[in-house]
Amino acid sequence: MFGAGAAGLTAVLAGCSTYEQPSQAVPGPAASTGGSSASAPVAADPSAAPDAAALAKTADIPVGGGKIFPAEKVVVTQPVAGEFKAFAAVCTHKQCALDRIADGMIHCPCHKSQFKIADGTPVAGPAKDPLPPAKITVTGDAIALA
């Protein structure tokens, strides 16, 4: 499967053999550079990922807990065995990056808001809105951003 994809990419690159605008050559259908002028203060749009990007293995996500992926601004949780949830890892109060998961809660370091790992509902602190859900896919033991 990867061989065919690599061959296809090679063919595409070979077709672009004239490099008149090397910095503008952005292969692939998801060149969404024009949509980056988001007015939202946080990256609550995990769909901005160019493709289904591998994020983690299911074994990386503890049952009854979760894991924060700061680069992707996503938190993946596993409230019960085999059930994975994902949310934007940005506090809905003042947009601080959520920094840890403990006791079934996702914690914000700024003003101590806490969100349930099961559904992102705020249960403590000043945050009033739930964490926006993020889209993931679980294929076998691989978790990817959808």
Where along the sequence are the contacts to ligand FES (CB under 6 A)?
A: 91, 93-94, 96, 108, 110-111, 113, 125-127
Which two structure tokens, joined as six digits, stand for 139?
């294929």
Residue 29 Cα to chain centre, angstroms = 19
Spatial separation of the C-alpha atoms in residues 37 and 30, rounded to whole Å: 16
Closest CA relative to residue 110, chosen from 89, 91, 130: 91
For ligand FES, the closer of residues 132 and 146 by Cβ is 132
Which two structure tokens, joined as six digits, stand for 142?
């691989």
For ligand FES, the closer of residues 131 and 134 by Cβ is 131
For ligand FES, the closer of residues 42 and 52 by Cβ is 42
3-state secondary structure (DSSP) of residue 7: helix
Least distance from ligand FES to the Cβ atom of residue 127, Å: 5
Least distance from ligand FES to the Cβ atom of residue 122, Å: 9
Instruction: Measure the N-to-C terminal CA separation of the chain; round to a whole number of Å.
Output: 19
For ligand FES, the closer of residues 57 and 111 by Cβ is 111
Least distance from ligand FES to the Cβ atom of residue 50, Å: 29
